[in-house]
């Protein structure tokens, strides 16, 4: 990580934004910029924590999807839909999990067009151990209280629902 800046760049952006465009859009710009920066910070923390298992957070999410599945296997297409990523991304994630020995890939037994990803015993062990590590660091949210996390989740859920990310009904 780099040395902290001697000033808050988002506060400075707010000041500049307000000066050039007024107050109306300033809170939106500041909120979005803050979300994007916190995303970078949290992802860096999570990826650092997952390094001992040769996982990125994206691979971890795919591994946990397999871990929580009823049979330990899922079609790659279903994984893409649940992870909300492009099919190419799922292929790359499973390539990484396969290379690490955490998952295997095989043709679906009854649908020739479908490929299944299956978690391995080693993948189950790593899923449990890496989750313990992420839980211990509160998934990189140590500065926030339980109430902060609840409020933040609720606010972001409203934004996701409004953007059509899922059907809230």
Query: Would you write out the chain's pLDDT as a tens digit for each of its 169 residues?
Result: 678 999 999 999 999 999 999 888 889 999 999 999 999 999 999 999 999 999 999 999 999 999 999 999 999 999 999 999 999 999 999 999 999 999 999 998 888 899 999 999 999 999 999 999 999 999 999 999 999 999 999 999 999 999 999 999 8
Q: Containing H/E element for 125?
A: helix 121-136
What is the rounded distance in angstroms from the CA atom of residue 135 to the CA atom of residue 17?
38
pTM of the model: 0.90
Question: Are the beta carbons of 96 and 50 closer than 8 angstroms?
Answer: no
Buried b (16+ CB within 10 A) or exposed e, 71-95: ebbbbbeebbeeeebeeeebbebbe
Question: Which parts of the chain are beta strand (E)?
Answer: 73-75, 103-107, 115-119
For 136, the token pair is 């211990």
């Amino acid at each position: 990580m780099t040395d902290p800046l001697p000033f808050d760049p988002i506060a400075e952006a707010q000041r500049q934004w307000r000066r050039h465009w007024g107050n109306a859009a300033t809170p939106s710009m500041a909120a979005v910029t803050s979300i994007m920066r916190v995303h970078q910070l949290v992802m860096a923390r999570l990826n650092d924590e997952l390094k001992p298992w040769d996982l990125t957070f994206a691979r971890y999410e795919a591994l946990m999807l397999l871990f929580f599945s009823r049979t330990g296997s899922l079609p790659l297409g279903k994984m893409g839909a649940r992870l909300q990523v492009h099919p190419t991304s799922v292929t790359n994630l499973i390539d990484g999990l396969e290379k690490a020995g955490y998952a295997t890939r095989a043709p679906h037994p009854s649908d020739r067009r479908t490929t299944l990803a299956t978690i391995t015993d080693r993948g189950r062990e790593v899923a449990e151990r890496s989750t313990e590590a992420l839980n211990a660091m509160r998934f990189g949210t140590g500065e926030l209280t339980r109430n902060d996390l609840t409020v933040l989740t609720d606010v972001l859920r409203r934004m996701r629902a409004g953007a059509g990310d899922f059907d809230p009904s």
